Amino acid sequence: PAWLYADHSKINTGTATLYHARPSIAKGKTVCINAGHGTEGGSSVKTLCHPDGTPKVTGGTTEAGATEAVAVSSGMDFLDGTPEREVTVALALVVKDTLLKEGYDVLMIRESADIQLDNVARTVIANNRADCHIALHYDGTESDKGVFFFSVPSDSTYRSMEPVASHWMDHNRLGENIVKGGAICLAEGANMPTTPEAIKIIQGAGLLYSPGKASNAGGVATSGLEMSQNSMRTSWTAEEVDQYLRRIMSDIHAACVKYGTREDGTVNYVKGANIAGFIKVAGAMADQGLV
């Protein structure tokens, strides 16, 4: 194997462990299980966001425009104080046992509190020794977003670099699998992760599809509520904040229905969200005397 980009790793003294399924049930496929976080000193070291040194075009733990990110972040803490790294490794051990029983070989990146492998090293190992790479993480928000996935953004700098260039189209298959799996609705819970091609597949099959700007607006809305409290020099109870947030999300849905309803009565939430967002911004600009 080429071990492409291995030289970009900064923390790589640890070792991954490969477990084999029983020969009688072996499928000949290896799944890499990567328990997120859990690298001591990982947050004090930085590696390139992209192997070619180009800046990020999407947000996240590391903001858009950055060219470097922490080698391994420390992760978040659950409400009871449990570190995310402890939960991901516990889940990884369960997944390992399940996959082995199903006949898959399993490549474990981390099985203890600390592994000296940064995210670059983990990915390179998975790319060279596994057929599938599953990274386990927990979302940092308190709301339940359900199941969501990340795909490669429609950006030439992402899609032109290897190994993404040779594989990004595989991500569209996820949209096809959602359709085949009998789903009736897909609501994004991240910053617009679904590719335009996957959206066409999902909408073409008649599924309800809600873009992140609508269904994932709760985080931004909560930030707005926090700024409102600061401006008013007041503090709302959790119940009051939840009531405001429910009203905001309900209004967003109503706006999507208002501007996105088709002649047959179905709703194009993408169109509705886009038009509603434009009208909201245009109205605010008019109120400020800018237009």
Q: Work out the percent of the chain whose per-residue pLDDT is above 90.
A: 58
Digit-coded pLDDT (tens) for 137-175:
987 666 655 555 566 777 777 788 777 787 777 766 766
CA distance linking residue 35 with residue 23, whole number of Å: 26
For 16-37, how does the pLDDT look when each residue is reduced to its tens digit (9 = 90+)?
999 999 999 999 999 999 999 9
Low-confidence ranges of the chain (pLDDT < 70): 1, 140-151, 171-172, 174-176, 178-179
**pLDDT score recorded for residue 150:** 60
pTM of the model: 0.62
Biggest distance spanned by C-alpha atoms of the chain: 74
191, 214 Cβ separation under 8 angstroms: no
CB 134 within 8 A of CB 96: no
Residue among 141, 36, 150 nearest 87 (CA): 36
